[in-house]
């Protein structure tokens, strides 16, 4: 639909991401379904999940404040990583909001609990951050690359956050854990393949490149100011066209 091209190796990367994520989802543990917002709040304030949330916020701030201004336009993993890490927190808070709405419709009003509004606030903040950086990723990179990478990372981190919060990993057999690990490695392989097929960034248009390579005019008028002295080219002075030395430049005309 967007007339964007994807190489055959890129198609292989997409297939690897989808297959790996499917394996993770099929072998993911069944999570418990809380029956109140207070119960989810107790799960969210566990030390293990608080450590994950703090790590997710720290990584997101590092990517947003340090990596994005420097490498965001060249590395696809920066913007997509921010969306994926924040997205794992979004799903947890959105689930709490959904349960609050469900209980309220059933007649058990959850609006009176401050936990409900805390989850609503977290959901709104995380969704805004996701939309901002996802739009940046789509504006900067090929959509055919952004979509599968974001899908794979978001799914993996969401399952990880859910497993930490609801403790669904306990009681799983070694074969299921091995299958989930293989699925994760398959997703990583697909992401690496997709990242290697990224199209080169063409910042210069043909017209701009032609203007940059055009020959200079035979005569240049300049204005140089240094140590209080002002100098200007005279009409009868000759200036070599192939070499110009400027000690201190203020502006050229």
Mean pLDDT lowest for which of 18-32, 53-67, 151-165, 220-234?
220-234
The structure tokens listed for 45 are 């304030």
**What's the pLDDT tens digit per position in 189-206?**
887 787 776 555 444 444
- Return the structure tokens found at 111: 């609006």
Q: Which of 177, 151, 173 is nearest to 21 (CA)?
A: 151
Domain chopping of the chain, boundaries: 35-171
Residue 230 DSSP code: E
* Tokens at 136, concatenated: 């940046």
**What letter would DSSP give residue 241?**
S
- The percent of residues in the chain predicted with pLDDT above 70, rounded, is 73
Does residue 234 have a pLDDT over 50? no
Sheet holding 222-226, edge to edge: 229-232, 222-226, 251-252
DSSP conformation letters of 155-217 = HHHHHHHHHHHHT-STT--HHHHHHHHHHHHHHHHHHHHHHHTPPPP--S-HHHHHHHSSPPP
Q: Directed axis angle between helix 143-166 and helix 8-27, to 10°?
A: 20
Each residue's pLDDT tens digit, 88-147 = 999 989 988 988 888 888 887 888 888 889 999 999 999 999 999 999 999 998 887 887
Residues 6+ apart with CB under 8 A from 188: 20
What integer is the mean pLDDT of 238-250?
47
Residues 174-186 have pLDDT tens digits of 888 888 888 888 8
Report CA torsion sign: 160, 192, 79, 25: negative
Residue with structure tokens 């497993």?
163
Q: Is 75 left (phi over 0), alpha (psi -120 to 50) or beta?
A: beta
What's the token pair of residue 175? 């074969």
Lookup: tokens for 178: 């091995």
pLDDT score recorded for residue 2: 67
Greater model confidence, 162 or 200: 162
Q: Name, in order, each residue with C-beta under 8 angstroms of 192's C-beta and a sequence gap of 6 or more.
A: 13
What pLDDT was estimated at residue 212?
Answer: 47
Structure tokens at 33: 């379904």
């Amino acid at each position: 639909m967007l007339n964007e091209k994807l190489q055959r190796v890129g198609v292989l990367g997409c297939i690897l991401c989808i297959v790996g994520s499917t394996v993770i989802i099929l072998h993911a543990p069944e999570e418990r379904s809380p029956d109140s917002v207070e119960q989810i709040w107790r799960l969210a304030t566990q030390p293990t999940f608080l450590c994950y949330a703090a790590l997710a916020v720290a990584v997101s701030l590092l990517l947003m404040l340090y990596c994005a201004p420097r490498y965001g336009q060249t590395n696809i993993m920066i913007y997509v990583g921010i969306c994926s890490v924040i997205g794992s927190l979004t799903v947890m808070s959105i689930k709490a909001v959904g349960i609050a709405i469900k209980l309220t419709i059933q007649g058990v009003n959850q609006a009176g609990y401050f936990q409900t509004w805390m989850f609503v606030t977290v959901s709104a903040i995380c969704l805004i951050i996701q939309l901002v950086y996802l739009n940046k990723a789509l504006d900067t990179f090929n959509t055919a690359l952004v979509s599968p990478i974001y899908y794979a990372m978001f799914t993996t981190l969401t399952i990880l956050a859910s497993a930490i919060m609801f403790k669904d990993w306990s009681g799983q057999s070694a074969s299921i854990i091995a299958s989930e690990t293989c699925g994760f490695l398959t997703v990583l392989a697909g992401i690496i393949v997709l990242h290697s097929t990224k199209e080169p960034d063409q910042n210069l248009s043909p017209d701009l490149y032609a203007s940059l390579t055009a020959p200079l005019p035979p005569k240049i008028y300049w204005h140089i100011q240094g140590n209080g002295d002002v100098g200007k080219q005279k009409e009868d002075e000759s200036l070599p066209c192939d070499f110009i030395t400027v000690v201190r430049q203020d502006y050229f005309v």
